[in-house]
């Protein structure tokens, strides 16, 4: 058996093979998962060939903003492979050794460069994918586990069907926030670039304490949101401002266009200022979003990609969320 591992990068002739593998792995889907390489942190792309046939591929990333267990940490992403754990271990071992040779003591995957990009594997496909949810083969989880990776975090997407919640406690929280100067408005699509500039600082500040967070440049942030501008309905992007029109929180949602049988709304991002006086703002934004969804005959809300801890789950639980999808992130010392 002739086993070879070849490195490649975007722009090289061999990179076409790296891209083409996913089309061979998902022939029945009609369209392969979208490619997403974070070239800011990309070190090298690798391909495993066995007897001349491409079996698996992955990319190695070094993001200086990410450390795990206070160790220099590398990332492995863009993983695609045929289902052969024994052969795939050759590639995962090779990348782990390369990461160690470049100073890493820990490696995490799957993560395409940062948590701003695609990361995590689904651990079941009991329900169809929703819009923006990456699709991959479930056996990828076993490939990582067979190679010595352990689960370092679990996530879920929850679904809420009975979501028109309004109670005295929430109304009391809203009244207090309004006394402090809070005002709500929709996203202004006529000045989308300016809105992104205002949201940039809030999101970086709000997510700073999140697991494996790393800062994002303003340019990269704007590019990511501009790429999905056509999907945005401003009625479902609610912004909270203070008396001086500083943005102190927002909730970003979009319709699940993949689901043609039901009318579902995906809650993708919920963020607020960490200032104590705005405590409870996330609940109020969610409450207003739920009312709008109910008024417009949505069947459900999907709270996407919540880390399985008390803080992340709280808002979803308040609005009747129940577990819908599950995901895992893996890591190991090297």
Q: How many other C-beta atoms are found inside a 10 Å radius of the C-beta of residue 6?
A: 14
pLDDT value at position 205?
Answer: 85
CATH 3.40.630.30 location in the chain = 3-154, 162-298
Highest mean pLDDT among 29-43, 72-86, 319-333: 72-86
Q: Superfamily for 3-154?
A: Gcn5-related N-acetyltransferase (GNAT) (3.40.630.30)
pLDDT value at position 323?
Answer: 81
pLDDT value at position 273?
Answer: 92
Give the global pTM: 0.91
pLDDT value at position 315?
Answer: 58
| Residue listed under structure tokens 């789950």 | 313
Q: Residue 240: which of 269, 200, 267, 271 has the closest Cα?
A: 271
Q: What angle do CA 8, 35, 229 make, to 5 degrees?
A: 140
pLDDT value at position 30?
Answer: 47
What token pair was written down for 163?
A: 């979501």
User: How confident is the prediction for the chain on average, in pLDDT?
Assistant: 91
Three-state SS for 56-95 is: EEEEEECCCCCEECCEEEEEEEEEEECCCHHHHHHHHHHH
Q: Residue 173: which of 282, 273, 292, 321 has the closest Cα?
A: 282
pLDDT value at position 243?
Answer: 94
Q: Superfamily for 162-298?
A: Gcn5-related N-acetyltransferase (GNAT) (3.40.630.30)
* Model pLDDT for residues 41-68, shown as the tens digit of each residue: 999 999 999 999 999 999 999 999 999 9
Q: Is the pLDDT of residue 181 over 80?
A: yes
Paired strand residues for 265: 255, 301
pLDDT value at position 31?
Answer: 47
Segment 86-106 mean pLDDT: 96
Segment 223-234 mean pLDDT: 90
Q: What percent of the chain has pLDDT over 90?
A: 73
* Model pLDDT for residues 139-178, shown as the tens digit of each residue: 999 999 999 999 999 999 999 887 766 678 889 999 999 9
Q: Report how far residue 57's alpha carbon sits from residue 256's, in angstroms, rounded to the nearest whole number.
A: 30
Q: Is the pLDDT of residue 32 over 80?
A: no
pLDDT value at position 320?
Answer: 55
Segment 59-86 mean pLDDT: 96
- Report whether 39 contacts 10 (CB < 8 A): yes
What token pair was written down for 332?
A: 């190991």
- Per 3-state DSSP, what percentage of the chain is helix, strand, and coil (rounded to 5)? 35, 30, 35
* Model pLDDT for residues 274-324, shown as the tens digit of each residue: 899 999 999 999 999 999 999 999 999 999 998 887 555 555 555 556 788
Q: What angle do CA 27, 112, 129 make, to 5 degrees?
A: 45
Cα→Cα distances 306→111, 200, 211, 267, Å: 16, 21, 11, 10
Paired strand residues for 302: 159, 266
């Amino acid at each position: 058996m002739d086993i070879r591992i070849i490195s490649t990068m975007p722009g090289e002739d061999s990179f076409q093979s790296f891209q083409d593998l996913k089309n061979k792995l998902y022939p029945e889907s009609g369209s392969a998962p979208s490619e997403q390489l974070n070239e800011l942190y990309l070190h090298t792309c690798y391909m495993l060939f066995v007897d001349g046939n491409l079996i698996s591929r992955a990319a190695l990333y070094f993001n200086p903003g990410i450390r795990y267990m206070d160790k220099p940490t590398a990332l492995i992403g863009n993983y695609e492979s045929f289902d052969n754990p024994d052969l795939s271990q050759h590639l995962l071992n090779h990348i782990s050794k390369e990461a160690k040779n470049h100073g890493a003591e820990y490696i995490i995957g799957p993560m395409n460069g940062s948590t701003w990009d695609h990361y995590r594997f689904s651990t079941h496909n009991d329900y169809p994918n929703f819009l923006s949810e990456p699709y991959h083969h479930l056996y990828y989880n076993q490939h990582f586990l067979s190679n010595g990776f352990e689960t370092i975090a679990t996530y879920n997407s929850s679904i809420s069907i009975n979501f028109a919640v309004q109670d005295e406690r929430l109304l009391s929280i809203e009244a207090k926030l309004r006394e402090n100067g809070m005002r709500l408005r929709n996203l202004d699509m006529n000045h989308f670039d300016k809105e992104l500039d205002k949201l940039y600082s809030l999101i970086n500040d709000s997510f700073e304490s999140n697991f494996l967070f790393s800062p994002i440049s303003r340019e990269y942030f704007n590019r990511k949101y501009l790429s999905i501008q056509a999907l945005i309905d401003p009625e479902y992007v609610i912004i909270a401002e203070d008396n001086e029109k500083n943005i102190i929180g927002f909730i970003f949602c979009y319709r699940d266009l993949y689901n043609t049988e039901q009318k579902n709304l995906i809650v993708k991002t919920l963020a607020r200022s960490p200032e104590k006086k705005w405590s409870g703002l996330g609940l109020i934004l969610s409450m207003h979003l739920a009312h709008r969804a109910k008024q417009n005959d949505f069947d459900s809300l999907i709270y996407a990609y919540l880390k399985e801890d008390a803080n992340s789950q709280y808002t979803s639980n308040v609005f009747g969320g129940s577990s819908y999808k599950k995901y895992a992130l893996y890591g190991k010392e090297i």
